[in-house]
Amino acid sequence: MRKVVIDTNVFISSRLSSTGNPAKIMNLITDGQIDIYYSWDILYEYTRVLAYKKFNFSIERQRLAIDDIKNIGNLINSVENNISLPDESDRIFYDTAKASNAILITGNIKDFPDEPFILTPAEYISLRAKIRQNIL
């Protein structure tokens, strides 16, 4: 439960709102309670989406968000798996999670196979709370 890979939709959501499960997860990462893993492809995807005009993030805010990931995250080389995905652009997250033995947190659960290491932000926060309370 300590290692996570964050899909772009969760990363961006955490930057758009300081409340909600994506922000809670990013706070756990910045507080050092959980570890984020990423690949160069994921970093590029974060950078690309942060620059979308519709989000209206300043250049400085974009740079700080990427610097945060680079400073606190764990860069790994992922290995492509032979699984078919509905959206092949999501492969970078799946492969990185598999390679780092991490939980993949995504708001687009339907875009991934039904596997126990793939959770929504709400599922991750709930499971984490249960583990901390020794319910599981």
In tens digits, what is the pLDDT along the chain, a chain of 136 residues? Answer: 799 999 999 999 999 999 999 999 999 999 999 999 999 999 999 999 999 999 999 999 999 999 999 999 999 998 888 888 888 899 999 999 999 999 999 999 999 999 999 999 999 999 998 888 876 5
Give the helix/strand (H/E) hosting 70: helix 59-72
Model pLDDT, residue 130: 87
Q: Of 127, 89, 131, 120, which Cα lies nearest the Cα of 10? A: 120
**If you classify domain 3-132 with CATH, what class do you get?**
alpha beta
Contacts for 133 with CB less than 8 Å, ≥ 6 apart = none
DSSP 3-state of 117: coil
Instruction: Give the whole-angstrom CA distance, residue 22 versus residue 80.
Output: 26
Contacts for 79 with CB less than 8 Å, ≥ 6 apart = 95, 98, 99
Model pLDDT, residue 81: 84
Model pLDDT, residue 136: 52
- Beta strand pairing call for 74-75 and 103-105: unpaired
The pTM score is: 0.93
Model pLDDT, residue 120: 98
